[in-house]
Structure 1
Amino acid sequence: MEIIGVTRLGRNNGNGAQPLKLTFRNSEEAMIVIRNKKKINKNRKIYTDLDRTLLRRDNMKKLKDELKIRKDKGENVSIKYVDNTPRIVTSSSNLKLNKPNSPQLACIYQNVSGLNTTVDEF
């Protein structure tokens, strides 16, 4: 694998983080890096992602800023991709548990041989 070009994107914003664009010989090498990004970032602050236009990067920055404001207000929101477009959506996982008419939760325990089954309701 060979990197044939490195370019800094944007301006330095003062916090030391500035995106770099790495250019590989072919797209297969780039996809190897993207697929193995968890191994690369194991103990470092290195983030890898596919190419994004300036408009997409600006849009994502605005969404993250809005997300932070809404989370600080106590809203249960996150960024999800809907039709390949990032959007702020209300997280529904915690809302279901807080509904007053939600059904009781039941846990089923089964022994190894499957003969005795116990149901505990909460």
Structure 2
Amino acid sequence: MSSPHDGLTFAERAARGITAGDYDRAALELAPTPEEAPDRRQRIASKQDAFNLLAYIAAFDHRVRGEFEAQAWIDALGPQRIAIEDAKRAVVAYFNGPNRHRWITPGDIIEQIEEGL
């Protein structure tokens, strides 16, 4: 038995993984896709997010953290729309680098992310 579509037998089409639906879909136009999929990861967007990041950083450098520190960090990082997981990766990269004995700043996190971690 052969197919009217391409001269292949059903067994040959099956072996190649070709189905009748493949032929039907071949004529359809593909929907345009965006250049980049939207990044839906959680961002540093609140004082609590900044405080949680500072608590993570404190595990490395034993800094004191509080309401005012969290507000300063959200003021510095919030407008950047940095993903929390990127910020944490930047912290780890920073403390694994040559400046590991110096306190990290919001600018250091931004720099690490811009350098591609």
TM-score normalised by L of structure 2: 0.28
Q: Between Structure 1 and Structure 2, which shows a larger proportion of strand residues?
A: 1
Q: Which has the larger radius of gyration?
A: 2
Higher relative contact order (CA 8 A, sep 6+): 2
TM-score normalised by L of structure 1: 0.27
